[in-house]
Amino acid sequence: MGIFDILTSTKRPPADAKQLSQQEVLQALMSLNRPTAPYHLVDGQAEGVDLIAEWRIVDAQWYEIFAKAGVSKVFKIYLKLDPRKYEVRALDKEYSVTWSAGVPKLSTSGEYFRGQKYSFSSGWRFGFKETLEPGVVYNYHFTTKEIKKPIQDAVTGCGWTYKGVTFGKL
């Protein structure tokens, strides 16, 4: 693994890995969706890509957690499969989030990021619980690795390369 691979989040499969079909890669990626994950993968056809991985910030089950955590930025990974090269090209984009009455609104005004990103945020809130006893009300951490690593593992597990794109065409 070279420095360029590290800077672009590129992960390569083991040399002896069997290269699966494009459909099998898509199935492996979609199998990452589960109700307990703070992210999900959705069809990206409207955006000109195969899939988009994103925080579940607009999901009713999750947005209260994100709002309480004070999340002000979210990021998405745009994924495009290239079956000729057996690679999934990935582009990270970051968006600002504003909260209105506890409901998230994504926007790109002010700040916008495109490339490869690693970020981490964590915190906890001490206060009174529902039982009126003092204690930790919530504890959280969000990291881009929570989304990126399972995707990289699924892609390389199918014998494909996960290629992070910083500049150029996805």
Structure tokens at 146: 């929570």
**22-30 and 145-157 are packed helices; what angle lies between their axes, rounded to 10 degrees?**
150
Q: Going residue by residue through the chain (170 aa), what tens digit of pLDDT does each one get?
A: 677 677 678 999 999 999 999 999 999 999 999 988 878 999 999 999 999 998 775 555 555 655 565 555 677 899 999 999 999 999 988 776 665 555 555 444 444 455 555 554 544 455 555 566 676 544 555 677 888 999 999 999 999 999 988 776 77
Which pLDDT value is given to residue 26? 98
Residue 105's Cβ-count burial label (10 Å; 0-12, 13-18, 19+) is exposed
Q: Are strands 103-107 and 113-115 parallel, antiparallel or unpaired?
A: unpaired
Specify the pLDDT at position 110. Answer: 40
pLDDT of res. 103: 54
pLDDT score, position 109: 43
Provide the pLDDT for residue 63.
Answer: 54
Q: Residue 162 has what pLDDT?
A: 95
Domain boundaries, the chain: 3-164
Per-residue model confidence (pLDDT) at position 31: 97
Q: How far is CA 82 from the centre of its chain?
A: 20
| Residue 165 pLDDT | 87
